[in-house]
Amino acid sequence: MDGRNTGSGTVYSRKARQRETTTTQPSDRTAIGIDLGEHNLYTACPVSVTNPTDAYTVRGTALCTCLDELRAQTARLLGSEYDRDTIAAYVQQRRDELVTDIDAAARDICEYALTCKDPILVTEDTHFEPDLWLWLTAPTAHCGSSWLLAAAHLRLRTIAAEYTLEVRTVPEAYSSQECHACGVLGNRHPNETFWCSNVDCRIDHIDADFNAAKVLAQRYYAGKRCARRSPRS
């Protein structure tokens, strides 16, 4: 984990806290959308947040760098005199180290969530089994889709359970393309910027991770779904 942004700069304790569970309606909960990515491993956005700088992020670039280095090292080992069992043991050791870092990031997110009233974490309804060995050995595999994001999603749910935080999934369709302000589908560019295609929307462009997390938070509530495409698209 190589960095995080709390907006105000506050650092939250990692000490687990127990919460009393009560029966509440969805409208009474604070939905916190959690967008997963490689630049920002986690972006947490409560539904009421309107400024991207107020979202809570945990960077993922260091993890991606470690994965790239591990992939290169594994390729060298597979071409060496080391037997497969020895290489597999090395990969398992490195995997455990990576998971430790992911868990620390997930705990940061959970601690942040506990500062909100009656929080519920909201993620996409994607459940891919993280297979590190497959990613390390597949010639065309991409780190995020093949291992990192799947592992981060799984570990977030596991760590959230330790904090007695509920995690709810919502449909992932177009969640990274929908404008959180108007519901029209726009475009997410590689430079981490979302551009709305609706000329009547107050949003022209905005941080893509914040926008996606905000969309997920909104989808927790009834009737909040992708509205339409822009007439000009």
199-218 pLDDT per residue, tens? 999 999 999 999 999 999 99
Weakest-pLDDT range from 11-25, 107-121, 202-216: 11-25
Q: What is the pLDDT of residue 173?
A: 87
Note the pLDDT tens digit of each residue in 38-55. 889 999 999 999 999 999
Weakest-pLDDT range from 44-48, 162-166, 170-174, 215-219: 170-174
Q: What is the 3-state composition of the chain as percent helix, strand, coil, each rounded to the nearest 5?
A: 40, 20, 40
Q: What is the pLDDT of residue 142?
A: 64
Q: What is the pLDDT of residue 12?
A: 41
Rounded to 5 degrees, what are φ and ψ at 159?
-70, -40
| pLDDT band at residue 91 using 50, 70 and 90 as cut-offs | very high
| pLDDT band at residue 17 using 50, 70 and 90 as cut-offs | very low
In Å, how far are 216, 227, 230 from 143, measured between CA atoms?
Answer: 23, 32, 33
| pLDDT band at residue 129 using 50, 70 and 90 as cut-offs | confident
What is the pTM (predicted TM-score) of this model?
Answer: 0.83
Q: What is the pLDDT of residue 13?
A: 42
Q: What angle do CA 179, 184, 188 make, to 5 degrees?
A: 50
Pair 222, 26: CB distance under 8 Å? yes
Rama region for 221: left / alpha / beta (φ>0; ψ in -120 to 50; rest):
beta
